[in-house]
Amino acid sequence: MMASNTTTILLLLLLLSVPITTHSSSETETIISRFQHYLRINTAHPTPNYHEAVDFLKSQADSLSLESQTIELVNAKPLLLIKWSGSQPNLPSILLYSHTDVVPAEHDKWSHHPFGAHIDNGCIYARGSQDMKCVGMQYLEAIRRLKSSGFQPLRSVYLAFAPDEEIGGHDGAEKFSQSEIFDQLNVGVVLDEGLASPEEKYRAFYAERSPWWLIIKAVGAPGHGAKLYDNSAMENLLKSIENIRRFRASQFDLVKAGLKAEGDVVSVNMAFLKAGTPSPTGFVMNLQPSEAEAGFDIRVPPTADPESLERRIAEEWAPASRNMSFSFKQKVSVRDKFGNPVLTKTDSSNPWWSLLENAIEKAGGKLGKPEVFPASTDARYFRERGLPAIGFSPMANTPILLHDHNEFLSKDEYLKGIEIYESIIKAYASFEGNGSEGGSRDEL
């Protein structure tokens, strides 16, 4: 009898030590298959197949008995809006945002077809696997699991699948955020995309750097190629380029030394250099040109002093005293319409951030230090309205491959991300507070 009890206890301990499988093999295959289907729809610029993507996503909403509507704020650029109604619709809603478009891919540079969604060694290779079709499908899969468990949200949950992000978002998120339709949603918080993390901790972003696309032009009298004289267009432009190079190095040194993250410094990179007098065989070699021009992609964090930077441009990089001028092809403000830095608070005044941290931990994940996104996302349009917006893509232990060749995401990370979003959506949709502390909702 004693031996039998001992055996029984050992068997129970053994069973308890075996991890519980969340999905059966067939369920996992179905989940991955849906993701592959979405990835195989070619929504790359310049001719994204938006309507096929929207039709597929709408079919997923229908299968979950969710309300949906297709909105075309700009012709041929549909935005799909899906709604999961809450039991207390007077509470501010949750917006789970994603974009359907992806950047082009050079097929011959990929080991697998970029729109084949091929699985190799447990990894799904496809354009959009990280940026950001994974997130859009994870939203839906998380809701599928919550609904099957019988969960009923207090707050209404909206999913927006928008076009145009990869070319600026002006016909997608920007127009959507300014529309009467958006006003009627009574949004309290927005979740958008983040970045993969090569480490075990997930990354979350509370702000992003604003793009300033600067063009500097120098003019001067043309001269013989053998003549040395002051204030030629090329000489003055080269002086500016050297000044800019030194500034860039000083900012980059802070990153290299670990004193600041990439998103916390002003980055400057030359995008083009235009000079010389064309000839049928190339350029005239014995003539110094009368004009020279260079373009720079500058990214400015919300913590920077924009007035100081613009003075630097006017006084050091393109001074009128050297026959120089400058203009901006694009200049996005680092402040919202209330004059505040465009960022989402990450302290105790923002309950949405605390809920995010706790939900990730509850699902077995770890969240790293809050970051400024080094580039631009559509989240900026919602932050500009004073709304809290958090950039987050649950991809840990994953190389950052957005816009790169051979973009991929492992099946395990994708499935784990669904669990993470299930926890986040449940926490957000169950939150009974008004949530206005997290942004400038009272000012809207």
Q: What angle do CA 223, 227, 231 make, to 5 degrees?
A: 65
Q: Which residues carry out catalysis?
A: 101, 165
Percent share of the chain, pLDDT over 70: 92
Beta-strand pair 77-84/157-162: antiparallel
Per-residue model confidence as pLDDT tens digits over 304-327: 999 999 999 999 999 999 999 999
pLDDT of residue 17: 41
Percent share of the chain, pLDDT over 90: 88
Q: List per-residue pLDDT tens for the chain, 444 residues long.
A: 344 444 444 444 444 443 333 557 899 999 999 999 999 999 999 999 999 999 999 999 999 999 999 999 999 999 999 999 999 999 999 999 999 999 999 999 999 999 999 999 999 999 999 999 999 999 999 999 999 999 999 999 999 999 999 999 999 999 999 999 999 999 999 999 999 999 999 999 999 999 999 999 999 999 999 999 889 999 999 999 999 999 999 999 999 999 999 999 999 999 999 999 999 999 999 999 999 999 999 999 999 999 999 999 999 999 999 999 999 999 999 988 788 899 999 998 999 999 999 999 999 999 999 999 999 999 999 999 999 999 999 999 999 999 999 999 999 999 999 999 999 999 999 999 865 544 444 332
Per-residue model confidence as pLDDT tens digits over 152-202: 999 999 999 999 999 999 999 999 999 999 999 999 999 999 999 999 999
- Residue 155 and residue 92 in contact, taking contact as beta carbons nearer than 8 Å: yes
Of 283, 286, 293, residue with least CA distance to 236: 293
pTM of the model: 0.86
Q: What angle do CA 186, 190, 192 make, to 5 degrees?
A: 150
Mean pLDDT over each residue of the chain, to the nearest integer: 92
Query: Which domains are present in the chain?
Result: 25-208+341-443 (3.40.630.10), 210-300+304-331 (3.30.70.360)
N-terminal to C-terminal alpha carbon distance within the chain: 73
Kindly list the distances between the CA atom of residue 5 and the CA atoms of 15, 18, 98, 263, in Å, as whole numbers in the listed order. 15, 20, 55, 60
Give dist(CA 252, CA 410) in Å, integer.
Answer: 32
Q: Give the burial class of 7: count Cβ atoms within 10 A of its Cβ; 0-12 exposed, 13-18 middle, 19 or more buried.
A: exposed
How far from the centroid of its chain's Cα atoms is residue 126's Cα?
17
